Amino acid sequence: MIRVLIVEDSPTVCLLLKSILDSDPDITVIDTASSGEEGLRKTLALNPDLVTMDVHMPGIDGFETTRRIMAQTPKPIIIVTGSIDPREVKLSFHALEAGALAVVEKPSGPGSPKFQHDAKELIKAVKLMADVKVVGQRLSSRPQRPVAVSIRPKPVGQIDLIAIGASTGGPAALFTVLNGLPLNFPVPLLIVQHISLGFDVGLAEWLSSTTRHGVTLARDGQLLAAGQVLIAPQGTHLGVNGTKRVLLDARTDAIGSFRPSVTYLFESVARVYGSRAVGVILTGMGMDGAAGLPAFHEAGGYIIAQDEASSVVYGMPRTAVATGVVDQVLPLNRIASTLSVLLQMENNP
């Protein structure tokens, strides 16, 4: 049984979350709190398995409450927010710096056609995150120290592009990777991150403000350039065309229920860049991306997957490794260093 504490200042939303979570036989809501201070006290007193956290509350907000919980009694924390205002979404992502595991959309009410879907997504997130082992530490905004990396050299060609796919736990993983890359890395970097509709702008702004790189949503027809970090807009596949420009595709169906899809990105990059690309699969639930790896491998691209120990959810990396074409399986804190070494090896022989 997963014991959950809900921290939410709206009585209506609190009742909604409680009814959804209590509807699952594997979850029980042990208590609720209407402020950050109360949430901290009850976390210390009740020792829940997981905490759902609102962002805007009277007194200390969700970010500060998360920071204090992680400092005093680390717990899996999910930020549940109902606003898609980019500024408020960015604040939600800042809670990841304090140790929260994920940011999810607040479910719509029972009268909404989205209710059943939203309820299932919340329950799924709680079950996934309750099993994550957390420690009392925050993401560091300081650049990572270089890590010595020994890798099998790519046999041919230079690297002209990096493509990254992520899902559950991805925002924090992307933070770590981007924060470890040098400012002057010499290639564009394309990202597909599964995230709730309306949260993509906030994700880009948060990554821009917390890493040393400018991160933006990709625009159709945009010319790719060194050092760019582009994220797929929600509801649109991200790819590249033969003139090395961004290709956004809102017409092609979802792949495995995802649009944008990591598989779409990898297949597109393989067609255009071939052996001059690196693909990275980060933490995430499901199998997206794996179906695109054989084409990536056959074209000569280099493939890296995050390891199980450092993944919040070892779903996408696991299915990637199972394809048999992954070149390296690495802990999260070595991926940026490995990318840097690959770029130095290939672009500065």
**CA 204, CA 188: separation in Å to the nearest integer?**
15
Cβ count near 86 (within 10 Å): 17
Cβ count near 144 (within 10 Å): 15
Catalytic residue among 288, 307, 311, 327: 288
Q: Starting from the edge strand earliest in sequence, which strands make up the sheet with 50-53, in order?
A: 27-33, 2-7, 50-53, 77-81, 102-105
Task: Read off the DSSP letter of residue 279.
Answer: E
Catalytic residue among 94, 194, 237, 297: 194
User: What DSSP letter does each residue of 215-247 carry, written as one string?
Assistant: EEE--TTPBP-TT-EEEPPTTSEEEE-TTSBEE
The torsion angle over the Cα atoms of residues 108, 112, 116 and 121, rounded to 10 degrees, is -30
**CA 250, CA 197: separation in Å to the nearest integer?**
14
From the list 63, 60, 72, the residue with the least C-alpha distance to 136 is 72
The torsion angle over the Cα atoms of residues 16, 21, 22 and 27, rounded to 10 degrees, is -160
288 belongs to the catalytic site: yes
Task: Read off the DSSP letter of residue 164.
Answer: E
Catalytic residue among 34, 35, 92, 167: 167
Q: How many residues does the chain have?
A: 349
CB 68 within 8 A of CB 40: yes
194 belongs to the catalytic site: yes
Integer-rounded Cα radius of gyration of the chain = 20
Cβ count near 67 (within 10 Å): 21
- Strand-pairing partners, residue 258, are 255
200 belongs to the catalytic site: no
Which residues are known catalytic residues?
167, 194, 288
